Amino acid sequence: MTTNGIVYVIDDDEAMRDSLDFLLDSSGYSVTLFDDAQRFLDALPGLAFGCVLSDVRMPGIDGIELLKLMKAQHSPFPILIMTGHGDVPLAVEAMKLGAVDFLEKPFEDDRLLTMIESAIRQAEPAAKVEAISQDIAARVATLSPRERQVMEGLVAGLSNKLIAREYDISPRTIEVYRANVMTKMQAGSLSELVRLAMRAGMLKD
């Protein structure tokens, strides 16, 4: 079953969680509930991209602290903050810390759904770029120190012979390393390897 996207609800109020779970699930979203921010942060590394809907006032890590922590991790997840009446200063601080928007409780269901749809649509391209960058970094991490040196030489435009001379090894050995680099980086050509190196920050534009 396809969904409109994933929403992670963080609220210490069980009735509020249940209400949002019903609303979002019936509107076609895949919903995961958390009763505190720490549980969400612990699970975050393994979570698929989605919109975070968090209450601002919670015991332990509150919504503002959550925003700070996610900003520090460069998380691409869009965050919507729910506030009570009179929490405008907190809402403004949340926006400054990167919250996409905020809703004052009680809010209209349609307004919430519109904001979630917009937040996911706007953040998706950046999330995809981040996922690709992480994938490329993971490929680079599989290279041995020597393979990385050979890759750096290749993307700098050096020939096998020059790289061999640089590290005092035979050109034939460089060919082996070069083949390993192309395989591990999943590059079908030298130009593709250069593009991957640029995305990995090994080569400046």
The SS3 assignment for 130 reads: helix
**Average model confidence (pLDDT) for the chain?**
88
Place of tokens 């640029």: 198
Model confidence at 205: pLDDT above 60: no
Nearest to 12 by CA among 59, 81, 51: 59
Strands (E) across 128-197 are located at none
Give the mean pLDDT of 33-61. Answer: 92
H-run or E-run covering 76: none
For residue 16, pLDDT over 70 is answered with yes
- In sequence order, what are the residues at sequence separation of 6 or more whose Cβ sits closer than 8 angstroms to the Cβ of residue 92? none
Angle at 148 between CA 145 and CA 154, to 5 degrees: 145
CA distance 45 to 32: 15
Which tens digit of pLDDT belongs to each residue from 169-190?
999 999 999 999 999 999 988 8
User: What pLDDT is recorded for position 1?
Assistant: 40
pLDDT digits (tens, 9 = 90+) for 112-147: 999 999 888 887 777 777 778 888 989 999 999 999
pLDDT at residue number 184: 95
Distances, alpha carbon 119 to alpha carbons 60, 101, 181, in Å = 26, 9, 39
**Can you say whether the dihedral through the CA atoms of 33, 39, 40, 46 is positive or negative?**
negative
- Domains of the chain, each with CATH number or no CATH: 5-126 (3.40.50.2300), 142-199 (1.10.10.10)
Residue 2 pLDDT: 44
Alpha-carbon distance 124 to 105, whole Å? Answer: 27
- Helices 145-155, 190-199: inter-axial angle, 10-degree rounding: 110
Whether pTM > 0.85 for this model: the answer is no
Q: What would the pLDDT profile of 87-97 be if each residue is shown by its tens digit? A: 778 778 888 88
Ranges 30-44, 87-101, 187-201: which has the least confidence: 87-101
